């Protein structure tokens, strides 16, 4: 059965998912829905408030915007730094241990797959714990920048935490009103503009990383999408690619996704429960004897 002759089934059961995936080596593609049970809100989820994402052009083009961004991020990143992987992350790591999952492509920047023990992970949209200089390309740990921002803005974090009005967003920013006097740090090496090592709207994913992700899909024989509405092209292209190669695609997500039309099965469900069930149910795939 290939996706082209399979009719997408909506509101399928876990048994349908198992039927499609059993015996296959799976590439996993994950999004914000996988991390909601770790306390990181999914701003694209069905129950989420509308929120306009920041664009790369806003960030580089507007000093006031950038100051506001860094002030929020300076508080928010500590929250992400303290979050823990949930049952869904652990299930994918367990499936990789057993040879069912060959690797994870994630649109999340929270590093929770790595924290759960997944080894073959492509952080498609970057990682919250690194900062990139747009001038010289130098990458520094976010913790190093935190020390510098603390020195430039003594008492800022404590002040904000007293207000107690910190909304945490997936890209590690937190909504704060009084950021007008926040002092932003530039690159210590070249004085260039620093940006979180995260791919924003209006940016493209670095080519080498995209190729790494395609290779991960090509090394598998089915694609499991978990917790993503696939609303951005950077993730959707892997679903299209898998479908074009005749690989079965399964989508587990709360709410409809842009990838549903490519899926053999879609399951409207939470990822923590579903991935845990799959970790218990899916058999290890047979050793590959020939190319298919
Ligand atoms: Zn620099």
Residue 27's domain comprises 1-40+85-125+205-287
Cα of 183 from ligand 1 centre, angstroms: 18
Per residue in 24-55, pLDDT (tens digit) is 999 999 999 999 999 887 765 555 555 567 78
- The model's pLDDT over 267-286, given as tens digits with 9 standing for 90+, comes to 999 999 999 999 999 998 88
How many Cβ atoms from other residues are within 10 Å of residue 273's Cβ? Answer: 15
pLDDT of residue 7: 46
Average pLDDT over every residue of 166-176: 47
67-78: pLDDT as tens digits: 988 988 888 888
Verify that 242 and 277 share a domain, yes or no: yes
DSSP labels for 85-122?
Answer: --HHHHHHHHHHHTTSEEEEEES--S-HHHHHT--SEE
pLDDT of residue 50: 53
Mark whether 74 and 102 lie in a shared domain.
Answer: no
pTM: 0.87
Domain count across the chain: 2
Look-up: residue for tokens 């920048």? Answer: 145
Residue 185: CATH number of its domain: 3.30.1600
pLDDT at position 259 over 90: yes
Distance CA 200, CA 6 (A): 35
Assess whether 144 and 71 both reside in one domain: yes
Q: How far is the CA of 172 from the centre of ligand 1 (A)?
A: 22
The binding site for NAD(+) comprises: 107-110, 227-229, 253-255, 271
Q: Which percentage of the chain shows pLDDT scores above 70?
A: 85
- Within a domain: residue 292? no
Q: Please, which residues have CB within 8 angstroms of residue 154's CB and are 6 or more apart in sequence? A: none
CA 53 – CA 283 distance, rounded (Å): 40
Give 66 or 176, the one with higher predicted confidence.
66
Residue 176's φ and ψ, nearest 5 degrees, are -135, 145
125 is catalytic: yes
Q: In this structure, are 137 and 221 located in the same domain?
A: no
**Cα separation, 136 vs 292, whole angstroms:** 45
Is residue 109's pLDDT more than 50?
yes
Phi-psi region of 247 (alpha: psi -120 to 50; beta: other; left: phi over 0): beta
- In this prediction, what percent of the chain has a pLDDT beyond 90? 69
Q: At which of 150, 181, 198 does a domain end?
A: 198
96 and 238 share one domain: yes
């Amino acid at each position: 059965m290939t996706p082209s002759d399979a009719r997408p089934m909506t509101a399928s059961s876990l048994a349908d998912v198992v039927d499609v995936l059993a015996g296959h080596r799976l590439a996993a593609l994950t999004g914000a829905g996988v991390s909601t049970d770790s306390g990181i809100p999914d701003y694209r989820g069905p129950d989420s408030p509308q929120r306009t994402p920041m664009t790369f052009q806003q960030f580089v083009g507007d000093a006031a915007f950038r100051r506001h961004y860094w002030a929020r991020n300076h508080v928010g990143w500590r929250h992400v730094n303290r979050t823990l992987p949930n049952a869904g992350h652990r299930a994918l790591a367990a499936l990789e241990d057993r040879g069912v999952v060959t690797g994870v492509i994630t649109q999340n920047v929270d590093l929770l797959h790595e924290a759960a023990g997944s080894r073959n992970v492509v952080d498609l949209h970057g990682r919250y714990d690194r900062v990139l200089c747009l001038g010289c390309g130098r990458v520094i740990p976010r913790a190093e920048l935190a020390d510098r921002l603390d020195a430039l803005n003594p008492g800022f974090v404590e002040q904000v935490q007293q207000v107690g009005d910190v909304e945490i967003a997936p890209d590690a920013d937190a909504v704060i009103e009084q950021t007008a006097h926040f002092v932003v740090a530039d690159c210590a090496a070249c004085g260039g503009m620093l940006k979180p090592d995260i791919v924003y709207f209006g940016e493209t994913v670095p080519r080498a990383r995209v190729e790494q992700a395609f290779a991960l899909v090509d090394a598998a024989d089915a694609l499991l999408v978990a917790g993503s509405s696939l609303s951005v092209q950077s993730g959707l292209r892997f679903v299209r690619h898998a479908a074009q190669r005749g690989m079965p695609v399964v989508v587990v997500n709360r709410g409809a996704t842009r990838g549903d039309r490519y899926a053999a099965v879609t399951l409207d469900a939470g990822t923590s429960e579903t991935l845990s069930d799959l970790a218990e149910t899916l058999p290890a795939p047979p050793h590959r004897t020939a190319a298919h």
